[in-house]
A = this chain, B = another copy of it.
Amino acid sequence: MRSAHPTSEALSKLQHKLQVRGLDALIVSQPDNRRYVSGYTAPDHGIQESSGHLLVTQNERPYLLTDSRFTLQAEAEASACCIHVYRRGLLEALEELLPKLGVRSLGFEAEYFLYANYLRLQELAIRLSVQLLALSNLVEDLRVVKTAEELELIRQSTQLNEQVFAQVYQQIAPGQSEREIARLIEGTMLDLGAERPSFDTIVAFGENAARPHAVPSERKLQPGETVLIDMGLVLNGYCSDMSRTFVLGKPDVLFMERLRLVRAAQKAAISTIRAGVTGAQVDAAARKVLSDGGYGEAFGHGLGHGVGLAVHEAPRLSLHGHAPLAAGMVVTVEPGLYLADWGGIRLENMVIVTEEGCEVLNRDTTFLDL
């Protein structure tokens, strides 16, 4: 078992939600949600290839519905669940179980369920006289505030990510390609015990760094060029995420000026973070520093995002982050500036929101103490 998260508490909370709403049952299909509630760690192989669904009712043991490829894993990991193996998929299992369990109202995850699958489910629901409800964020809203145990796992994930960065940084030299360094990073992650990268590692040199989601290329590092690295890993199921931008050798004045501005934006944002503040307010704090510095247009993405079982999850630190932050949330703070003909700079740390402020998880300050 790769997960140390106590799922029984999550399950109780979710069942309580069903009771409060008077909802007989909920299908949990999103893999991180599924894992959070059951301990079952199998990922889906693309949106059209489910590794299973939970059928959670108000009081009974939940069912983990899956196919025979996953029976052994399901039994080993989802010990609190009844394992129900289907041959033809979810609908076949529901057709058997819904009447048996007396389910009259059934929720599904509107933000993960495909429209085509909804049509099929609706047809079944009508046939069984079950009321179908599209629901959003029932499990996500539980996941957003981390338990002490989850925070510890995220700390460990971040610590390992920094260890990888430090080790790789020693080995970076002119002549290496973006792709080579990205592979070195991902190989080192695995060497040091990570399950996998939490996203495709970004390594971008020079003007390639103007693409916030650059894909590492065969371009070779020239002395004096910008190096932008955005990397994260998964350890015990929990993600980390960090970006650094630097120059090997002596950076020019313009680079240092822009790097300092991005760092100032990051510091301004971090100083505003505490429980009760909205994501939009934190985003605005960073955006103001960049705008005042003349780079408002060069910062085209949101300031940050939640991190947990998923590398991108709630809450958002952006123009659209209207909900107040709460203690125990984990977010990235990653201002940047991107100029098509020049390149880009991004600095990203992760922080835990607390009642009075926040705890910065990253210890690495190699390129931050300017």
Question: Which residues of A line the B interface, CB within 8 A?
Answer: 41-43, 45-49, 51, 67-70, 72-73, 88, 108, 110-116, 118-119, 134, 136, 183, 187, 190, 199-200, 210-213, 215, 300-301, 310, 312, 320, 338, 340
Contacts and interface: CB of A to CB of B under 8 A. Distances in A.
Nearest to A208: B72
A42 B213 contact: yes
Given A68-B212, A88-B320, 15 more contacts: A41-B215, A43-B200, A45-B312, A48-B111, A67-B300, A68-B301, A72-B340, A108-B115, A110-B114, A110-B116, A115-B134, A119-B134, A183-B187, A183-B190, A187-B187
A contact face: mostly helix, strand, loop, or mixed? loop
A69 B134 contact: no
Contacts of A320: 88
A69 B301 contact: yes
A38 B135 CA distance: 34
A216 to B, nearest CB: 10
A68 B45 CA distance: 28
Nearest to A196: B200
A183 B189 CA distance: 11
B190 A70 contact: no
Nearest to A211: B72
A88 B320 CA distance: 9
A49 B139 CA distance: 18
Nearest to A137: B116
Contacts of A118: 115, 118
A296 B301 CA distance: 54
